[in-house]
Amino acid sequence: MSSERRKPYPFDQIEPKWQAIWDERQIFHAPNPGEKNFDAAKPKFYVLDMFPYPSGAGLHVGHPEGYTATDIIARYKRMRGFNVLHPMGWDAFGLPAEQYAIKSGQHPAVTTRENVSKFKSQLKRIGFSYDWHREINTTDPRYFKWTQWIFLQIYNSWLNPKTNKAEPIKTYRGKNPDEVRLAYVADVLVNWCPELGTVLANEEVVDGKSEVGGFPVVRRPMRQWMLRITAYAERLIDELEGLDWPQGIKLLQRNWIGRSEGAEVDFKIDDKKIRIFTTRPDTLYGATYMVLAPEHSLVDLIVTEEQWPSVRDYREKTARKSDLERTELAKEKTGVFTGAYAINPVNDEKIPIWIADYVLLGYGTGAIMAVPAHDERDLEFARKFNLPIRQVVQPPGDEEPIGFVGDGVAINSPIIDGLPSREAIRKITAWLEERGLGKRAINYKLRDWLFSRQRYWGEPFPIVWEDGKHRVLDESELPVVPPPLEDYKPTGTGEPPLAKAKDWIRYSKKAVRETNVMPQWAGSCWYYLRFCDSHNDKRFVSEKAEKYWMGGGKPGGVDLYVGGTEHAVLHLLYARFWHKVLFDLGYVSKSEPFQRLVNQGIILGEDNQKMSKSRGNIVNPDDVIEQYGADAFRCYEMFMGPLEQMKSWSMRGVEGIARFLARVWRLMMSENQAGQWELSPAVQEVDLTNPQRKILHATTKKVTDDIESFSFNTAISQMMIFVNAFTTAQTIPISAMQPFLVLLNPFAPHLSSELWEKLKLPGQITEQPWPGFDERFLVEDEVEIVIQMNGKVRDRMKMSIQASEEEIKNAALALPKIQELTSDKQIRKVVVIPKKLVNIVL
């Protein structure tokens, strides 16, 4: 293991050499339309990685997996004649840098700068072909100025239900625009994490604990900034349709948004009414009681004198429950009677009204009709509190009717008796609508996005408060830069740390600044747009650059987006939402940001466990590159298995790939007496033999197809087969090596560049067109045909490729072995698949 050990090939010299050349000559810089060297004749291809959070730990082997895949695609597409946009940047606002600042007293900007420079040098060492000229950092005021600017656009817009599009707020004709703005302030029950001293989005709470750090989270009402993402629920579901995303991710988003169709129905209580939402209006006759969420505003108005103490008591108890407790205690239903009764509109029956925490304020109308016979939760509740259960749906077959929640036939329901459930729903909804008792309605699980955080290290809001009212700053006042602070610690009271900057918050005599900051997701909601034009100080992105890189014939702008599944709902939903707002306002040309999405699988440690510090199974890319080189590292990451799959690291596997690359090297290079590498004398300008030509064309075809389908592992296998076929050859034809090096280039760019130079091939390898192949060289005159009997292989024979089915059949039946096996048997059928096989059925 000593570093003195001779390298199987001198990657330690050639890799830094080529990285320096690429850097110096700006080989991978993609000019924008209108800039020098821009070639308008070429089509564009935008290939994007999910940019990393530059943590102190540096890169791990999971990061470069997706990055290598996109780098292969980027290099391949350039050779295919595309203008390729392939950028990289840093998502650098967020909790870890701030937590570290609290501990060490070092300003987050300082640690961020250090971490970025470490990440960048690690990425460069792997030889990625990023256009570093376009590098961005979400914590750079020149960047977050535009994050704040986009917030202004969101704040100054509303969704016009008539057009289902965002419009400037001035087109709103109502009295109070603050009620419809896409960014608004509201008192909401939030997820408050005392340990982190901040509120969290629903999406950031996992099993009642914070996703970052795993600290307990409690419900607490607070005044917060919200983004009206729910206004886009329908479009966020519908417009998934045109995207080339994995079905699973689309489903995850659909489920998260959670669309359900049903009806809203009004139940009368004296002179008031309660509106409920149900997906099963056909079960209205089975409603035997109602439940309101404990926090429902109507509770105060309807509760009777004698029930008041227990109702108050119950409400207090549920308010104190954390989310975790609410779900953990879900096994046992709880609730209390309000003393009030409502009238069921279909049969004028008087039914009791309860409150229970299994009904959520935030979904639907916060009130339900309970149909215990056909809803599991209602049934459980009814059984516990001895409420009546009435069957109104007859299940198909002999299923148990009580507790049946599927579709059947309506019974005990005069208006709809005998109708199948779907029809019954339609009929009763129409019946309700005619009488003004209810209407068709759609509900979404998706909640508005809680957009403020009580932290330091994030984008300040471009907002000031005056006389208790918020207003936005002018564009000219951007960026709003966070003030320097001695102490970043959360206050613990829910007041943001920025409130400690007494001078900074004082905006004018009358106005004070908003002290919340935006969540970490803000910066990543639009970074792909900034990459199109990252130095623009007049606009978040120029129209021209946006139109070019984010344009095209598809709904989504970025042609290929690669990253982990962990962002399936959060980042990808938020970014789509922002993009749609910008699209509606006319700032971007497509309604979706990402046309094609590919998820890379996570890489486990050698022990098949998730890599983690505590397990000590973390693989550091630097160590791998030190020992085997960047090309081997890249190729191994791709050779491990299908990109999307979860897979385990193996150092032995890296060695195998390193051996392959060394074989490529020695195919063309040999050592002289002095132990120096020089061009092998076997490399000559000779004609290819037929088998050589065949394998070259087969390899070209397979590598091309496999890159297109992201099957990088099998592309590498094929190149191994190619190399194995040439290792024994007496002479190595240059005419085979030249295209092969181009095929290898996206995978092992350093090695292939060096060999290209050593072979004195013309120009730069990066400027070569992708090799073509000719199908004619792939087909053989003769193919081997397998003879099966009853599906079992019994013999094989060579046949001309042109042989007819009849000829093949006769030839097969004439084979001595087949004659022998069939002589005393009846042949029932013979199946002939030309060029493949014959199956004789006995």
Ranges within 326-355 binding RNA (CB under 7 A): 326-327, 329-330, 333
**Calpha distance 376→328 (Å, rounded):** 18
Residue 189 lies near RNA (rule: CB under 7 A): no
Residue 839 lies near RNA (rule: CB under 7 A): yes
CA-nearest of 635, 542, 633, 625 to 589 is: 542
Smallest separation, CB 370 to RNA (Å):
8
Residue 258 lies near RNA (rule: CB under 7 A): yes
Residue 310 lies near RNA (rule: CB under 7 A): no
Smallest separation, CB 758 to RNA (Å):
19
- Phi and psi dihedrals of 314, rounded to 5? -65, -40
Rounded to whole angstroms, what are the CA distances from 160 to 152, 270, 581, 593?
A: 18, 36, 12, 22
**In terms of CB distance, is 328 or 475 closer to RNA?**
328
Rounded to whole angstroms, what are the CA distances from 744 to 5, 634, 673?
A: 26, 12, 29
Q: Which stretch binds RNA (CB under 7 A): 233-241, 430-438, 555-563, 714-722?
A: 714-722
**Calpha distance 790→808 (Å, rounded):** 17
Residue 717 lies near RNA (rule: CB under 7 A): yes
Q: Is the peptide bond before 479 cis (omega within 30 degrees of 0)?
A: yes
Helix/strand/coil percent split, the chain, to 5: 40, 20, 40
Smallest separation, CB 731 to RNA (Å):
16
- The total number of residues shown for the chain amounts to 842
The helix/strand/coil state of 708 is: helix
**Calpha distance 385→335 (Å, rounded):** 9
Strand-pairing partners, residue 200, are 191
Smallest separation, CB 373 to RNA (Å):
12
Name the region of 697 (left: φ>0; alpha: ψ -120 to 50; beta: rest).
alpha
* Packing angle, helices 651-668 and 712-727, rounded to 10: 40
Which of positions 28-57 make contact with RNA (CB under 7 A)? none
Smallest separation, CB 491 to RNA (Å):
30
**Calpha distance 72→64 (Å, rounded):** 12
Residue 776 lies near RNA (rule: CB under 7 A): no
Query: Quick one: how far is CA 695 from the chain centroid?
Result: 38
Residue 721 lies near RNA (rule: CB under 7 A): yes
Binding mask 553-572 for RNA (x = CB under 7 A): ------------xx-xx---
**In terms of CB distance, is 554 or 796 closer to RNA?**
796
Site for RNA (CB under 7 A): which residue of 57, 110, 402, 793? 793
**In terms of CB distance, is 343 or 360 closer to RNA?**
360
CA-nearest of 130, 143, 124, 121 to 30 is: 130
Q: Which two tokens stand for residue 651?
A: 């150092």
Residue 756 lies near RNA (rule: CB under 7 A): no
Smallest separation, CB 802 to RNA (Å):
18
Residue 627 lies near RNA (rule: CB under 7 A): no
Q: Which amino acid, residue 807? A: E
Residue 248 lies near RNA (rule: CB under 7 A): yes
- Is residue 251 within 8 A of residue 266, CB to CB? The reply is no
Neighbours of 36 (CB within 10 A): 6
Which of positions 794-823 make contact with RNA (CB under 7 A)? 794, 796
Which of positions 669-698 make contact with RNA (CB under 7 A)? none
Site for RNA (CB under 7 A): which residue of 282, 375, 514, 631? 375
Site for RNA (CB under 7 A): which residue of 20, 57, 110, 251? 251
Site for RNA (CB under 7 A): which residue of 169, 411, 512, 646? 646
> How many residues contact RNA, by CB under 7 A?
83
Smallest separation, CB 326 to RNA (Å):
6
Residue 538 lies near RNA (rule: CB under 7 A): no
Smallest separation, CB 39 to RNA (Å):
35
**In terms of CB distance, is 14 or 664 closer to RNA?**
664
Strand-pairing partners, residue 561, are 48, 597
Q: Which amino acid, residue 732? A: I
Neighbours of 683 (CB within 10 A): 19
Site for RNA (CB under 7 A): which residue of 52, 345, 366, 462? 366
**First CA to last CA across the chain, in angstroms?**
62
Smallest separation, CB 512 to RNA (Å):
36
Residue 642 lies near RNA (rule: CB under 7 A): yes
Query: Quick one: how far is CA 578 from the chain centroid?
Result: 15
Residue 443 lies near RNA (rule: CB under 7 A): yes
**Calpha distance 718→711 (Å, rounded):** 11
Binding mask 463-502 for RNA (x = CB under 7 A): ----------------------------------------
Angle, vertex CA 13, rays to CA 9 and CA 19, nearest 5: 120
* Packing angle, helices 749-758 and 734-744, rounded to 10: 150
Site for RNA (CB under 7 A): which residue of 574, 639, 756, 773? 639
**In terms of CB distance, is 542 or 617 closer to RNA?**
617
Smallest separation, CB 279 to RNA (Å):
4
Q: Which stretch binds RNA (CB under 7 A): 68-76, 176-184, 688-696, 826-834?
A: 826-834
The β-bridge relationship of strands 837-841 and 829-833 is: antiparallel
Residue 831 lies near RNA (rule: CB under 7 A): yes
- Phi and psi dihedrals of 80, rounded to 5? -85, 5
Residue 280 lies near RNA (rule: CB under 7 A): yes
Half-sphere exposure of 503 (CA within 13 A, CB side): 4
**In terms of CB distance, is 765 or 785 closer to RNA?**
785
Smallest separation, CB 777 to RNA (Å):
19
Residue 219 lies near RNA (rule: CB under 7 A): no
Name the region of 30 (left: φ>0; alpha: ψ -120 to 50; beta: rest).
beta
Q: Which stretch binds RNA (CB under 7 A): 151-159, 421-429, 651-659, 743-751?
A: 651-659
**Calpha distance 94→150 (Å, rounded):** 19
Smallest separation, CB 781 to RNA (Å):
16
**Calpha distance 610→56 (Å, rounded):** 19
Strand-pairing partners, residue 261, are 442
Smallest separation, CB 786 to RNA (Å):
4
Residue 701 lies near RNA (rule: CB under 7 A): no
Residue 277 lies near RNA (rule: CB under 7 A): yes
Q: Which stretch binds RNA (CB under 7 A): 13-21, 82-90, 362-370, 390-398?
A: 362-370
Smallest separation, CB 718 to RNA (Å):
7
* Packing angle, helices 570-584 and 141-155, rounded to 10: 70
Residue 833 lies near RNA (rule: CB under 7 A): yes
Site for RNA (CB under 7 A): which residue of 238, 417, 774, 784? 784
Q: Which stretch binds RNA (CB under 7 A): 95-103, 636-644, 729-737, 772-780?
A: 636-644
- Is residue 49 within 8 A of residue 12, CB to CB? The reply is no
Which of positions 81-140 make contact with RNA (CB under 7 A)? none
**Calpha distance 698→692 (Å, rounded):** 10
Residue 652 lies near RNA (rule: CB under 7 A): yes
- Is residue 358 within 8 A of residue 330, CB to CB? The reply is yes
Site for RNA (CB under 7 A): which residue of 724, 804, 810, 819? 724
Site for RNA (CB under 7 A): which residue of 54, 364, 556, 605? 364
Binding mask 573-612 for RNA (x = CB under 7 A): ----------------------------------------
The helix/strand/coil state of 214 is: coil
Strand-pairing partners, residue 199, are 192
Smallest separation, CB 456 to RNA (Å):
27
